[in-house]
Amino acid sequence: MKNSKILLLILIVMFVFLIGPFIVIIISSFSSQTVMRFPPEGFSLRWYDKVLNIEMFRTTFWMSLKTGLAATFTALVLGVPVAYTNVKYRYPGKNALELFFSSPAIVPGLVVGFALLRFFIYVSGIPILLGLYLGHTAILFPYTVRVVSASLRNFDAGIEEAAVSLGSSPLHAFFAVVLPNIQSGLIAAFILAFITSFNNVPVSLFLTGPGVATLPIQMLVYMEYYFDPTISALSSIIIVITVIIVQSAEKVLGISKYM
């Protein structure tokens, strides 16, 4: 019994360490003062008011949202057939190809962004925004493949064959029978990929420029110049939204098993 108490203690310490900072930041965001102090003195919502009124945050938020949705959607369209092939077919060279498709998750994001910048913007003259979208799509690709593969593995291949034996073409069977039954996997893939894109800094770092910036990059820029609780307020908003998404996704989809 003594042993399990020590284990429990380690578990509690770990959770205080993991979650404590989030609570600290939320408390600090209600400060009424200009300098970051903790515990904060006074209570106000002035920093929330300020966040909503800084235009750069608003425009970069939309930029992040649009980039995230577009990249996630593209990565899913490209990734679902790859996942389907991974689960359904055996063919020579399969291991090498699976490694190939997962490589964007192994190469450091900073290097991906840097290489894309050098390659496209300097060599081919592709607009920076397109580079941002392509870079995000590339790094989301392995996520969608992995999550969709996991949910396809739980899908009985016989169901698809039943549809084909009843007269569906393979393509029709996929849309009529396979897709509706891996819905939760698709949603999990969408959530994970979108959040990954929305939060990404390393890839975006090199693929932003005049008029093109994502919210996290804009926050980093702001932090270089100002040291007031504005970022606390913005971070709190982001944390609360993330908590809501993560909690419901875990409850409904068990998203942690896909990570």
Find the binding residues for another protein in span 181-240 (CB under 8 A). 181, 195, 198-199, 201-202, 205-206, 215-216, 219-220, 223, 231-232, 234-236, 238-239
- Number of residues that this document lists for the chain: 259
Report the SS3 class of residue 158. helix
Q: Does 107 help bind another protein (rule: CB under 8 A)?
A: yes
The count of C-alpha atoms lying within 13 angstroms of the C-alpha of 13, restricted to the half-sphere facing its C-beta, is 6
- Smallest distance, another protein to C-beta of residue 81, A: 4
> Of the candidates 47, 60, 71, 104, which one interacts with another protein according to CB under 8 A?
104
Please give the residues from 35 up to 64 whose contact with another protein meets the rule CB under 8 A.
35-39
> Of the candidates 134, 184, 186, 187, which one interacts with another protein according to CB under 8 A?
134
> Of the candidates 156, 210, 211, 225, which one interacts with another protein according to CB under 8 A?
156
Q: Between 65 and 246, whose beta carbon lies closer to another protein? A: 246
- Smallest distance, another protein to C-beta of residue 53, A: 19
Report the SS3 class of residue 144. helix
Report the SS3 class of residue 212. strand
> Of the candidates 34, 66, 118, 154, which one interacts with another protein according to CB under 8 A?
118
- Residue from 109, 113, 138, 140 nearest 128 by CA: 113
The site that binds another protein (CB under 8 A) totals a number of residues, namely 105
Q: Does 34 help bind another protein (rule: CB under 8 A)?
A: no
Lookup: tokens for 199:
């939060």
CA distance 104 to 26: 34
> Of the candidates 43, 53, 96, 180, which one interacts with another protein according to CB under 8 A?
180
Q: Does 242 help bind another protein (rule: CB under 8 A)?
A: yes
Q: Does 69 help bind another protein (rule: CB under 8 A)?
A: no
> Which residues are within 8 A (CB) of 241 and not within 5 positions of it... i.e. 6 or more apart?
none
CA distance 132 to 205: 9
- Smallest distance, another protein to C-beta of residue 175, A: 12
CA distance 55 to 211: 12
CA distance 105 to 217: 21
Q: Does 111 help bind another protein (rule: CB under 8 A)?
A: yes
- Cβ pair 104, 142 in contact under 8 A: yes
